[in-house]
Amino acid sequence: MSLTLAKGRFDAVNGPVLTIVLDGVGLGPKDEGNAWFNARTPVLDAAMERYGYISLAAHGLAVGLPSDGDMGNSEVGHNALGAGRIFSQGARLCNEAIEGGSIFEGETWKWLIEGVKASGEPLHFIGLLSDGNVHSHEKHLHAMLRRAAEEGVRKVRIHILLDGRDVGETSALTYVERLDAVLDDINMSGYHDFQIASGGGRMVVTMDRYEANWGMVDLGWKLHVKGEGRGFRSANQAIETFRAEQPGITDQFLPGFVVVDENGSPVGPIHEGASVVLFNFRGDRAIEISRAFEDETMPHFDRGPKLNVRYAGIMQYDGDLKLPKHFLVAPPAIDRTLGEHLAFNKISQFACAETQKFGHVTYFWNGNRTGRFDDELETYVEVPSDNVPFEQRPWMKAAEVVDATIAALESGKYRYLRLNLANGDMVGHTGSLDAAIIAMEAVDISLGRLLKAIEKANGVALITADHGNCDEMFERKKDGSFKADAQGRITPRTSHTLNQVPAILFDPKGQVKAKLAKTVEKPGLANVAATMLELMGFEPPADYEPSLLK
């Protein structure tokens, strides 16, 4: 498809066009757990009142994730903002990587295999054993087991988490039997020693999320890594015993277990020199166990010193935190982004963020592409982030990012500009409500300076976000009330949210002869690119998600 842009249905605005990404600022419940709601933000308040706003989906299907139960993140959010289309992530990418074989051709798979061949330790797999296709799929595990056998890996241990939530409540034995059939087939050679080593229900062992119960991860660490727990000769025996002891129990709540040999010794503790793969592709319940393997220190439970193993996820679960460092399936191949179209049509561009989000307004915005499309037309400015905990300096580098962007606006060199203010996300991740409130006030002050510069330059701006975070700083129970510990202290939330994000069209001189509107049934981040093109007077590419101008 051609990169040439045709004249659109609207006249172009006279001055520069700017996209402002307020990272991690969603439309959450207006209560004491919402940092934005509790902050003093007169600039944002006034802009929303004067120009109105619409809500954009920034999670789940709207950004290419497997389901609407999946939190958005900065990587897929900026992919969608810059690409103008929705590209598959997660389950579909893993399917394609396994079916096409690219997962086994990458450096991470080779690194994992080389590690265990050199050490003689087993290759370990941890993950949800089912075909629910929400967090994982058994066929991904089966394929990796067969490939490891083909490549001469002698010993493999599997640590299975039992579902009963995305599949039938008591279907665990079906999946164990299918896995056993794969293992039996591999072990027939007499050379291989592939076994299930430990397991337990997903709501009891390992798969905590939002730091709600680190005890689940602690238990998983004891079972999977240390081989400590109630012993059984097989996973089948464990499941059947628990069901007999607790009639009516469902798979997701089955207790943890360890598979032992004839002498009662665990068959598969994870020792130094091993390689470990977490085969869950969905991130929310994969982050904490990944941190247990990768963080230098672990204050949440008595892990002991960091284990010297080669650890990888089937996906990277948090791009902000680069967690885990190694992963098997690469991000999607994205072409014909907003930036590429503009560069091809000789439109000058400027992008700015501090270090924490610089890659998001460049690499991810440009479709996971390193470098510029046109060195003469594009300027990228990285403001070095402070090397201190974000809750100790919640204003971060918002002022400096805005300084650089104002200078770019005043230069008159750039037709299209984009920037990211990282405070709402990075401070939101700390779990400190007080710091997040200050972060939002710093963002608002900086936004006020920026909007004055836009008005002076005779331009317009679209203010939005890539996902929610600081809009919910406390964990909630199912009834919506806040969770608290035994001492009555409210449990902080440090993860992204499922909330939608605002989109505000700042047009101080009334240049745009249209309103920002819900032009499609479920508007999302991918609709922003076409909107920006129309503000510049261009017709969006035919396959882009529709513009939000009406």
Active site residues: 74
Count of beta carbons in the 10 Å neighbourhood of residue 131: 17
Cβ proximity of 512 and 10 under 8 Å: yes
Following DSSP, what letter does each residue of 231-270 receive, concatenated? EESSHHHHHHHHHHHSTT--GGGPPPEEEB-TTS-BS---
Cβ proximity of 493 and 475 under 8 Å: yes
State the virtual CA torsion across 322, 326, 332, 338 in degrees, nearest 10: 30
User: Which one-letter DSSP state was computed for residue 283?
Assistant: S
Cβ proximity of 465 and 502 under 8 Å: yes
State the virtual CA torsion across 229, 235, 237, 238 in degrees, nearest 10: 40
- Please tell me the chain's helix, strand, coil percentages from 3-state DSSP, rounded to the nearest 5: 35, 15, 45
Q: How far is CA 195 from CA 24, 126, 461, 503, in A?
A: 42, 12, 58, 52
How far is the C-alpha of 133 from the C-alpha of 193, rounded, in Å? 28
